[in-house]
């Protein structure tokens, strides 16, 4: 049986989102995984927000593992929808892996204001990064210009392979 991975992230907002999803699913197949991309959902007509939400929840239920593109999106932190999906899959107790296109620390990306800024040496808010590592997952960070973060994604596939197979990719 092929291990299914839910592919969460702001990739769905890219102008070439379908191509990005196709490419990431192909990379999953190279490692013997099946990628489940949110835009794989089929709807009769234009879906409502509630229909998209329910369909994505169904994909997360089908998946054995969650991959989360945590690249900063519309601000210094990860996409809010992606973070919700991360929390939901954490609640399901499934292995989680994150990746981002930035190697800078969260506090370096936050604009100083009158509020305190957490300085724990993490790439994002502690609830995001620690959620991933709490169950043995990891966050892969690669400085790259693409929001899709393909290099970090490939490294994440390697980490998931090693978790499941206990050896180098072969």
Question: 136 in the Ramachandran plot: left (φ > 0), alpha (ψ -120 to 50) or beta?
Answer: left
Q: What per-residue confidence (pLDDT) applies to 53?
A: 98
- 120 phi, psi to nearest 5 deg: -105, 10
**Residues with Cβ within 8 Å of residue 156, at least 6 apart in sequence:** 67, 97, 98, 99, 140
Report the SS3 class of residue 103.
Answer: coil
> Which of 121, 122, 136 is CA-nearest to residue 66?
136
Q: For each successive 10 residues of the chain (170 residues), what is the average pLDDT? A: 96 98 98 97 95 98 98 98 98 96 97 94 97 90 97 97 79
Token code pair at residue 117: 């800024």
Q: Tell me the CATH number of domain 3-165, given options 3.20.20.70, 3.40.50.11540, 2.30.40.10, 3.40.50.450.
A: 3.40.50.450
Domain parsing of the chain, residue ranges: 3-165
């Amino acid at each position: 049986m092929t291990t299914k991975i839910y592919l969460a992230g702001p990739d769905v907002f890219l102008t070439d989102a379908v191509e990005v999803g196709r490419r990431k699913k192909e990379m999953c197949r190279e490692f013997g995984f099946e990628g489940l991309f949110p835009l794989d959902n089929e709807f009769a007509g234009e879906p409502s927000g509630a229909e998209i939400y329910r369909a994505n929840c169904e994909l997360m239920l089908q998946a054995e593992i969650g991959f989360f593109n945590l690249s900063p999106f519309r601000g210094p932190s990860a996409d809010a929808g992606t973070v919700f999906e991360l929390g939901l899959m954490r609640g399901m107790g499934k292995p989680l892996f994150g990746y981002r296109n930035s190697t800078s620390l969260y506090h370096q990306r936050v604009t100083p204001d009158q509020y305190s800024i957490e300085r724990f040496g993490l790439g994002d808010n502690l609830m995001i990064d620690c959620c991933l590592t709490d169950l043995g997952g990891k966050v892969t960070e690669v400085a790259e210009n693409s929001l899709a973060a393909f290099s970090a994604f490939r490294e994440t596939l390697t980490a998931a392979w090693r978790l499941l197979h206990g050896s180098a990719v072969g």
